[in-house]
């Protein structure tokens, strides 16, 4: 079967690999559609280690069960259900688990083997390509639940790629006011479409003074979804005193905690708990993932797909790859 194999920074090839045989409690899913995430790009650019050479890349995809043909979304977080963390419901910190596309072979493969509990039937009105953009929805729900905003809170979101744009949508669903920040106008246009109350192009405006001007005291909540050191370091300059900050895209950088009083700091990782709700919100048209999709490729063209996803001149947001 064909799969997109990570060979090292800048090198991904679609190659034939041996067919898989499922163990007890696992099912075989025939890949239908997947999307390329910022994390995949961090691996591709060699910014993050973690994905080993020879591994299949990808952690956001759907397919159909090989035996019944039922369409299913796949949850990439593998967990044992028995360790201390699992028993607390913190499945993403399982002592015996990991994430497909990071710790284990990922989803960009003609066939994927996953534990039976890692599949979710896709509602009829959700297309394959929509079910291929599930992870950033689940991550946005997880992050906003963690931050527990009040109605009408200011939420400043640095980075309006697919993850940031979904943070914008979920924050609006929670009744917050959103200040969207990015350096690219085509992304800020989408922020506006998804309900952002203000948007700042950080290339031309000073985000910290604009956020201060808009809010009067700094943002109640700041979410970093750009995945850069500068964005991480900027979070403290946007938050009000005793505000909350979540780091989602990147975790490296120097935080001078002396500049903000009583700040609450969160880091947020992909978790399986929010996947059913994410899929339901897409089915009920409360969350729009369709308009995040800017490019479409076939699995055999994966190399080209990730090159486009990595090239801002092509104005990518979410690049989808399908089997057909």
CB 212 within 8 A of CB 220: no
Q: Measured from the CB atom, is 63 or 106 closer to Zn ion?
A: 106
In the complex, the smallest distance separating the C-beta of residue 261 from Zn ion, rounded to whole angstroms, is 33
Which residue reads 């989602």 in tokens? 248
Residue 318: name the closest of 190, 127, 126, 140 by CA: 190
Selected from 3, 27, 37, 133, the binder of Zn ion by CB under 5 A is 37
Q: Residues 51-75, buried b or exposed e (16+ Cβ, 10 A)? A: beeebbbbbbbbbbbeeeeebbbbb
**DSSP labels, 230-288:** HHHHHHHHHEEEEEEEEE-S---S---GGGSSS-EEEE----STTHHHHHHHHHTTSS-
Q: Is 22 exposed, middle or buried (0-12, 13-18, 19+ CB in 10 A)?
A: middle
Size of the site for Zn ion (CB under 5 A): 8
- The binder of Zn ion chosen from 14, 33, 39, 289 (CB under 5 A): 39
Residue with Cβ nearer Zn ion (149 or 161): 161
**What is the closest distance, in whole angstroms, from the C-beta atom of residue 197 to Zn ion in the complex?**
26
3-state secondary structure of 171: helix
Smallest distance from Zn ion to CB 40, Å: 7
Per-residue contact string for residues 66-105; x = within reach of Zn ion by CB under 5 A: -------------xx--x--x-------x-----------
Is 1 in a helix, a strand, or coil? coil
* Closest CB 41 distance from Zn ion, rounded Å: 10
- Min dist CB 94 to Zn ion, Å, is 3
Nearer of residues 39 and 143 to Zn ion, judged by Cβ: 39
> Judged by CB under 5 A, which stretch of 31-39, 46-54, 187-195, 271-279 contacts Zn ion?
31-39
Single out the residue of 135, 182, 274, 288 in contact with Zn ion (rule: CB under 5 A). Answer: 135
Radius of gyration of the chain (CA): 19
Residue ranges in contact with Zn ion by CB under 5 A: 37, 39, 79-80, 83, 86, 94, 135
């Amino acid at each position: 079967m064909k799969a997109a194999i990570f060979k090292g920074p800048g090198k991904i090839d679609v190659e034939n690999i041996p067919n898989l045989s499922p163990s007890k409690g696992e099912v075989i899913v025939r890949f239908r559609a997947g999307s390329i995430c910022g994390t995949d790009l961090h691996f591709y650019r060699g910014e993050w280690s973690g994905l080993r050479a020879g591994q299949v890349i990808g952690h956001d995809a759907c397919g159909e069960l090989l035996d019944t043909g039922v369409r299913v979304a796949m949850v990439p977080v593998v967990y044992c259900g028995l360790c201390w963390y699992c028993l607390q419901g913190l499945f993403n910190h399982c002592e015996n688990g990991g994430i497909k596309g990071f710790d284990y072979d990922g989803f960009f493969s003609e066939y994927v083997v996953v534990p039976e509990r890692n599949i979710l039937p896709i509602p009829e009105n959700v297309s394959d390509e929509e079910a291929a953009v599930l992870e950033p929805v689940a991550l946005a729900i997880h992050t906003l639940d963690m931050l527990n905003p009040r109605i009408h809170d200011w939420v400043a979101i640095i980075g309006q790629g697919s993850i940031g744009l979904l943070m914008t949508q979920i924050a609006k669903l929670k009744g917050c006011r959103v200040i969207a920040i990015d350096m690219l106008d085509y992304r800020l246009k989408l922020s506006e479409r998804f309900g952002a109350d203000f948007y700042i192009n950080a290339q031309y405006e000073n985000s910290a003074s604009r956020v201060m001007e808009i809010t009067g005291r700094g943002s109640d909540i700041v979410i970093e979804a750009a995945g850069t050191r500068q964005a991480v370091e900027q979070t403290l300059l946007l938050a009000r005193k005793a505000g909350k900050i979540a780091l989602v895209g990147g975790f490296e950088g120097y935080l001078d905690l002396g500049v903000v009083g009583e700040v609450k700091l969160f880091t947020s990782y992909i978790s399986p708990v929010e996947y059913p709700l994410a899929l339901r919100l897409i089915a009920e048209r409360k969350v729009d993932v369709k308009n995040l999709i800017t490019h479409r490729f076939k699995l055999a063209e994966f190399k080209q797909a990730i090159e486009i996803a990595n090239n801002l001149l092509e104005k990518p947001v979410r690049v989808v790859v399908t089997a057909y």
